[in-house]
Amino acid sequence: MSQPTQKTNYTFALVVVFIVCFLIGFITTMNNSMIAFCSEAFNLNAQQGQYVNSAFYGAYLLSIPFALLMSKIGYKGTLILGLAVAGIGFIINSMGISNAIGSGGNVYAVFLGCMCLVAMGVVMLQNVANPYVMVLGSPEKGAFRMTLSQALNSVATTVAPMFITYVIIRGQAAKPEAVPGPFLGLGIFTLLICLILVFLKLPKIDEGKQSEEAGEKLVEKSSVFKYPHVWLGALGIFMYMGVEIGVPSMLPYKIQSIGYSGAEATQLATSLLSLYWGGMMVGRFVGAGILAKFQPRALLSWCIALGALCIAASFVLPGMTGVYAMLAAGLFHSVMWPLVFNLGLQKLGRHTKAASGVINTGVIGAALLMPVMGAVVGTAGVGVAIAMMFIYYAYLIWFCWKGSKIGIE
């Protein structure tokens, strides 16, 4: 008599990935929260300030090569390499800024270059986190696990602006000299996590075999590049970055438009970001619970509609009330990333790792859309720049109900 197949316990591996998701969220949001700081410290215009996003999110162009690398060295190897690259990037940034200040060099260029290196490590971590969470358990619960991991990611995104406010700015005028110390600490912390991970044992996953055992109906194709819903999912993430990063990136200019200026506007914008990322954190925890009973597409549709409604309200409500309406969109942006990503990873089996790289490439939306929106602020005003977000919402609702089904139904 044959013995029943023992069910693998993935709890420990999920905890490791959740910790990595926290680190991804912290580094990513910290970078975005540096826009107001850099704009004041280096006397930048709106478009130049958005180069912080370009330098960081531009690294996602390497998502596909890094995904192919992950197929060779596995999930654990990619996690270790990603942590090492990010940690070294922070340390080089700390040393480079100090040297540039001492020699009279271009400190802003050094900061951007080193943050691009940090971002390369984050891209590797992002490539691992999304598919690994998807395959560490049953396929039907994949959206739930991914939303929960993003909820923990959001805890970090709520903390990161506080790090900028209380550790780097510390109630003073923005100066480059404030950066090296905290960045050195972040680099050492990241490398310590990397060292610990070297000695941990994580399960190896055969995605194709796992899908067969779960009875999932796959659409077998010779290459990941032949799945339309994967490419459309990458474009979905591209557009999503326009709304997720669009709010915090446009926030300083929105605040300036209602009468604030200088250091007061910088500190207010940075402190208010915790409300936006906090809303995303709450939304993801609530969303994880809702997904236990409701279909991902229905939840995504409601969140897209309500997020767009918040942005629309920011145009008609006066003063700080309009600013708070804009920040409230974070509550509904919360589950968009995991749900769009989940829809793009459906029914792929052995192509899951490569598909993660393809979809992650869409993150360059923050690198490309934010400077464009910054340029629009300078030419047509912040209202027109914020209105561009309605284009992004429109594509997301189409992908939810049409684009994500092309080629697999």
Residue 2 lies in a domain: no
Residue 293 lies in a domain: yes
Find the helix packing angle between 11-41 and 262-290, rounded to 10°: 160
Q: Give the model confidence (pLDDT) of 100-148 as tens digits.
A: 888 888 888 999 999 999 999 999 998 888 778 877 777 777 777 877 7
Could you tell me the residue range of the domain that residue 292 belongs to?
11-405
Mean pLDDT across 178-197 = 90
How does residue 206 score in pLDDT terms, banded at 50, 70 and 90?
low
Q: pTM, whole model, 2 decimals?
A: 0.77
How does residue 1 score in pLDDT terms, banded at 50, 70 and 90?
very low
Residue 1 lies in a domain: no
Say which CATH number the domain at 266 has.
1.20.1250.20
Residue 234 lies in a domain: yes
Mean pLDDT for the chain? 86
CA dist 368 and 370 (Å) reads 6
Question: What tokens were used for 18?
Answer: 């959740």
In the chain, the number of structural domains is 1
Q: Give the model confidence (pLDDT) of 153-187 as tens digits.
A: 778 877 887 888 788 877 777 788 888 888 899 99
Residue 4 lies in a domain: no
How does residue 205 score in pLDDT terms, banded at 50, 70 and 90?
low
Give the pLDDT score at 228: 92
Question: What tokens were used for 390?
Answer: 């309605």
Range among 29-38, 163-172, 233-242, 357-366 with highest mean pLDDT value: 233-242
The residue with greater pLDDT, 39 or 372, is 372
Give the pLDDT score at 36: 78
Give the pLDDT score at 84: 96
Give the pLDDT score at 4: 44
Residue 66 lies in a domain: yes
Q: Give the model confidence (pLDDT) of 371-384 as tens digits.
A: 999 999 999 999 99
Range among 57-71, 150-164, 385-399 with highest mean pLDDT value: 385-399
